[in-house]
């Protein structure tokens, strides 16, 4: 679908149908108020009204906030996809909510149909946004940036949604290399020989039962004279069976999403490089497949991580933190960053704590948490802060190693996973680091807001916003 910003009055823009957004208070003063009343349209949230003879689609709004406009635009574009209109237009009424409106149309239009034998095509090809009595030049910049971020989010969604027989550690590395070539980035990949040389034994243990070799991907965007240096670390479990601590059959379905952290990092690199931000970005991805076999790592194994910290394995399904332990240590040695963010579909416990739509954020810096929360709110993503405390640290104690990979009690699972990662953050980087648990927000079994079934691209809009406004 093509999106266009048109410097004309709405009435002068040619399109098959006009989309309008109305609050309940605005319905009564509308020029078609009588007709709307007869149709039963009251301007409520999630309510739509097709006036076919007038070539108008009306969408209800709780209010004109960015979040509500984004959701209403999503509903509008999904409705239009099921109709037979080729083009639609809508009017921009406020600069501050323009980005959300565009996102709603672009992200709401997304669907992943690569595996459908008969891909149903929609007639809708064009959405035009009319600028009237607003600064067209300024809106053009916002429009172009919004499209870049939205497309990077959809790029991330495509990667997460790709089936595991196609996307494994090797093919994920190839995708990163192609992105680097296309966007002028640098990319270096360590195979298992390189991982062994780096003594990344925790990561290697997780992937050793797979037929696919584990890879570490380092992809970088390096502009001249960057004002900040950021390291982004992604969990790339291209499939997670749980290992010998085998998941239940129903829990294995959708485990292709366990690579969502890695895919988000690639999406962020795509967005930042196309926005041409003056910030140096390093993406570090641990690409691994956790399978079963005669050589699989086992509960009771003691692993020596890259940092030298020994880990008692009590559950092989707590594998993502083992991969991240080595990748985080590697990232800190390779790059002296101003911020270090890791992204992982790490724990079901995060969904228990925050629900299925919210990313859990953890770290030591209250200031950084506030900045991330502001970026999330501004971009339309949801985050919730989960607090560290010294008493939960004790639950990771091991009698035979430096640390256990799971808590000794079934409570605070998302936080204890974060505290496990904290063990591998160097003291000088504690205040620079933030852990993002996207287990609930990265993938959905049903459509919500601007997200369709499947991958959401969680993290891309939020971090892009954070980086755009970094000082």
Catalytic center residues: 247, 321
Distance of CA 311 to the CA centre of its chain: 29
Nearest-angstrom CA–CA distance, 452 and 457: 11
Burial class (CB in 10 A: 0-12, 13-18, 19+), 361: buried
Nearest-angstrom CA–CA distance, 163 and 355: 25
Of the candidates 333, 305, 302, 298, which has an alpha carbon nearest to the alpha carbon of residue 321? Answer: 305
Q: Which helix (H) or strand (E) holds 458?
A: none
Collect all residues with Cβ–Cβ distance below 8 Å to 352 and sequence separation of at least 6. 413, 414
Virtual torsion, Cα 323, 425, 377, 457, nearest 10 deg = -20
DSSP conformational letter for 283: E
| Distances, alpha carbon 468 to alpha carbons 123, 141, 200, 272, 384, in Å | 35, 13, 34, 9, 21
- Look up residue 423 and give its two tokens: 């063990």
CA atoms within 13 A on the CB side of 433: 23
- Look up residue 24 and give its two tokens: 């309940």
What is 384-415 written as a DSSP string?
EE----HHHHGGG--SSSSEESS-SSSSSHHH
């Amino acid at each position: 679908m093509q999106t266009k910003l048109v410097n004309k009055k709405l009435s002068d823009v040619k399109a098959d149908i006009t989309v309008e957004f109305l609050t309940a208070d605005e319905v009564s003063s509308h020029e078609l108020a009588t007709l709307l009343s007869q149709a039963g349209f009251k301007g409520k949230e999630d309510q739509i009204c097709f006036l076919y003879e007038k070539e108008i689609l009306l969408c209800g709004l709780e209010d004109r906030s960015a979040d509500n406009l984004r959701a209403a635009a999503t509903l509008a574009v999904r409705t239009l996809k099921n109709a037979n209109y080729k083009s639609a237009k809508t009017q921009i009424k406020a600069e501050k909510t323009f980005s959300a409106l565009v996102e709603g149309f672009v992200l709401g239009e997304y669907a992943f149909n690569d595996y459908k034998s008969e891909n149903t095509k929609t007639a809708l090809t064009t959405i035009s946004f009319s600028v009237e009595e607003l600064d067209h030049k300024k809106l053009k910049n916002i429009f172009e940036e919004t499209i870049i971020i939205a497309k990077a989010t959809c790029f991330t969604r495509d990667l997460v949604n790709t089936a595991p027989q196609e996307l494994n550690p090797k093919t994920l590395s190839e995708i990163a290399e192609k992105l680097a070539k296309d966007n002028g980035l640098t990319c270096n990949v360590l195979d298992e020989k390189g991982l062994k040389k780096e003594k990344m034994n925790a990561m290697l243990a997780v992937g050793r039962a797979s037929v696919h070799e584990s890879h570490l991907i380092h992809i970088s965007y390096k502009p001249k004279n960057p004002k900040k240096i950021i390291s982004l670390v992604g969990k790339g479990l291209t499939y997670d069976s749980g290992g010998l601590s085998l998941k239940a059959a129903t829990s294995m379905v959708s485990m292709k999403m366990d690579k969502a952290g890695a895919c988000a990092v690639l999406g962020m690199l795509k967005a930042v490089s196309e926005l041409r931000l003056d910030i140096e970005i390093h993406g570090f991805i641990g690409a691994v497949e956790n399978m079963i076999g005669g050589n699989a790592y086992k509960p009771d194994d003691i692993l020596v991580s890259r940092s030298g910290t020994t880990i008692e394995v009590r559950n092989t399904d707590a594998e993502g933190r083992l991969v991240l332990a080595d990748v985080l240590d590697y990232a800190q040695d390779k790059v002296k960053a101003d911020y270090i963010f890791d992204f992982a579909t790490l724990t079901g416990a995060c969904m228990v704590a925050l629900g299925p739509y919210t990313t859990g954020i953890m770290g030591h810096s209250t200031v950084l948490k506030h900045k991330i929360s502001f970026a999330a709110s501004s971009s339309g993503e949801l985050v919730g802060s989960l607090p560290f405390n010294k008493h939960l640290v004790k639950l990771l104690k091991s009698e035979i190693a430096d640390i256990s990979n799971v808590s000794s009690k079934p409570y605070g699972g998302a936080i204890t996973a974060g505290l496990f990662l904290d063990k591998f953050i160097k003291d000088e980087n504690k205040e620079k680091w933030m852990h993002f648990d996207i287990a609930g927000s990265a993938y959905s079994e049903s459509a919500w807001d601007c997200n369709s079934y499947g991958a959401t691209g969680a993290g891309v809009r939020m971090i892009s916003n954070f980086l755009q406004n970094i000082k």
